[in-house]
Amino acid sequence: MVDFQAEKHLVREYYAALDDADSGEIAGVLGQYISTDYLWRGFHPFNEMTDSIRVASEFWAPLKISLKRLQRRQDVFMAGKNETDGFDGTWVVSMGHLMGLFDEPWLGIAPTDKMAFLRYCEFNKVAGGKIVETAMYFDIPHLMMQAGLNPFPPQTAAHLVQPGPMTHDGLLFDAQPKAEGDATLAAINAMIGDLGTWQLGLPLEEELARTWHDDMIWWGPAGIGATYTIERYAKQHSGPFRAAFSERSKTNHICRMAEGHYGGFFGWPNFTARHDGGFMGMPASDKHGEMRVIDIYRREGDKLAENWIFIDLLHFWKGLGVDILARMQEVPRT
């Protein structure tokens, strides 16, 4: 077993305190669990912050005011050593939904007075008994769609409130065998090795079959959607995505880790590429867009079975001259 129990316990305590706090108490909670030399990364329009007071006042408090009775519904919880720094730093990962009653506007999105789900995935680096770094990624376009807005042209895959793992075993509160985490990380790295070049020389479906089960599920972000089986994933996302981009940079991850049958990574950005047109129905650009991404994986046997993806599409398109968030604030709900 590999023991990350102290780090997991700290993050679970932090979540319990944060989830119970009202909007005026959040800064005090963060002050208790967050280090003074903190770095927080969040999707557009929040971006980077280095002060827990700002994170409390600009992100958590407004979100809790908007989504009343906020409830954290976790699907994956795990911890591990970071491969990208030589397995030195320890990170704790939580993925799921923040659910509440959407009763007040948030980021200019009009409330619905109904339940709403904000998909999220958070990486927390723990050192010295404090959280020293956070990547908090969340699917704002998904919330827009629940509010009756359509921020993107129709996507090629399915738009859903996404479930957790089919196996219902993603909450790794207990220590896991090291060999299982090593096998998961090896499967993720094998997939990255194939994906990172786009030049393996095999037909796409054959390439994917090297590292994915045939009945794989790719739980993509709103605006792209979810897709099931290698054949549909190739047709509904991977093929169109590769066809729409060129001059892709090398992949860069700030953290890549695994525990048990689960693992994942994030970058800031993961890579850049030039949009040649057609992706998500958008026009071409001569600029190189940044892809800020979190990927979470479930391994089954020696291949990957499920993948949950968070992409900062608002930041990506804004960098190419299309401000989705500003545009949606001006459009009435359907």
Tokens of 177: 């065998």
- In the three-class reduction of DSSP (H, G, I as helix; E, B as strand; rest coil), residue 7 is classed as helix
For residue 261, the model assigns a pLDDT of: 98
Question: What mean pLDDT comes out for the span 184-191?
Answer: 97
Residue 293, burial from CB neighbour count under 10 angstroms (0-12, 13-18, 19+): buried
pLDDT of residue 310: 98
At residue 237, the pLDDT reads 93
Handedness of CA 116, 121, 125, 129 (dihedral sign): positive
Q: What is the pLDDT of residue 196?
A: 57
pLDDT of 230: 98
Range(s) within the chain of domains with CATH label 3.10.450.50: 5-146, 178-328
The CA-atom distances, in angstroms, between 7 and each of 25, 78, 80, 174, 239 are 23, 10, 10, 12, 40
- Helix, strand, coil in percent for the chain, rounding step 5: 30, 35, 35
Of 188, 191, 192, nearest to 80 by C-alpha is: 188
CATH of 5-146, one of 3.40.1310.30, 3.30.465.10, 3.30.565.10, 3.10.450.50: 3.10.450.50
d(CA 144, CA 123): 24
What is the spatial distance between Cα 42 and Cα 52, in angstroms, rounded to a whole number? 13
Element (H, E) at 79: strand 67-81
pLDDT-derived band at 331, boundaries 50, 70, 90: low
Query: Amino acid identity, residue 129?
Result: G
Span 251-272, pLDDT tens digits: 899 999 999 999 999 999 999 9
pLDDT of 4: 97
Question: How many whole angstroms separate alpha carbon 54 and alpha carbon 57?
Answer: 5
pLDDT in tens, 15-52: 999 999 999 999 999 999 999 999 999 999 999 999 99
Residues 6+ apart with CB under 8 A from 303: 187, 211, 212, 213
Average pLDDT over residues 302-307: 98
Q: How confident is the model at residue 328 (pLDDT cuts 50, 70, 90)?
A: confident
pLDDT in tens, 223-247: 999 999 999 999 999 999 989 999 9
Tell me the average pLDDT across 122-139.
98
Give 172 or 327, the one with higher predicted confidence: 172
Check residue 333 and give its pLDDT: 52
**What pLDDT digit, counting tens, does each position of 308-325 carry?**
999 999 999 999 999 999
User: Which residue bears the tokens 């459009």?
Assistant: 331
Q: Looking at residue 62, what is its pLDDT?
A: 98
Treating both helix axes as pointing N-terminal to C-terminal, what angle do 5-20 and 26-33 enclose, rounded to 10 degrees? Answer: 170
Average pLDDT over the chain, rounded to an integer: 94
Q: Which fold has domain 178-328?
A: Nuclear Transport Factor 2; Chain: A, (3.10.450)
Does the predicted model carry a pTM greater than 0.85?
yes
User: What pLDDT does 160 receive?
Assistant: 81
Is pLDDT at 332 greater than 90 in this prediction? no
Work out the average pLDDT over 193-208. Answer: 78
What percent of the chain has pLDDT above 90?
86
